[in-house]
Amino acid sequence: MIAVKNLEERAKGIDAMGVDYICVHTGYDLQAVGKNSFEDLKKIKAVVKNAKTAIAGGIKLETLPEAIKAQPDLVIVGGGIAGQKDKKAVAAKMKEMLQQG
């Protein structure tokens, strides 16, 4: 979910539809002003009863520990790997961190 005004209400409604996952995502424009998806993830986890939760947007090596702490069922990484010179090494380190977390 991105740019949703009442996150908790919308998450409850989507959860009631029987979806498998509900994902919170912070776009580049909001990341540029210091926003992230961690608080949004906490909000939906508090109201979602059936669906699994996912997080995307701004996930990179430096922010992955906070993402792990928020305990999503799925972590989606795009630019945090694609934008790195050694993509394989960054992906391997993230995998290691996720397995330990």
What's the CA gap between 84 and 78, in Å, rounded?
A: 10
Cα separation, 55 vs 68, in Å, equals 10
Domains, the chain, with CATH or none: 7-100 (3.20.20.70)
For 13-43, write each residue's pLDDT tens digit.
Answer: 999 999 999 999 987 777 767 777 888 999 9
Q: Which is higher by pLDDT, 65 or 3? A: 65
- Burial class, 46, CB count within 10 angstroms (exposed 0-12 / middle 13-18 / buried 19+): exposed
pTM: 0.86
Residue 97 and residue 35: Cα distance in Å, rounded? Answer: 23
d(CA 88, CA 86): 6
Whether the predicted pLDDT of 4 surpasses 90: no
Write down the pLDDT at residue 58.
Answer: 87
Res 5: pLDDT: 87
**How much is the average pLDDT of 47-68?**
94
Given this model, what pLDDT does residue 38 score? Answer: 87
Rounded Cα gap, residues 81 and 58, in angstroms:
11
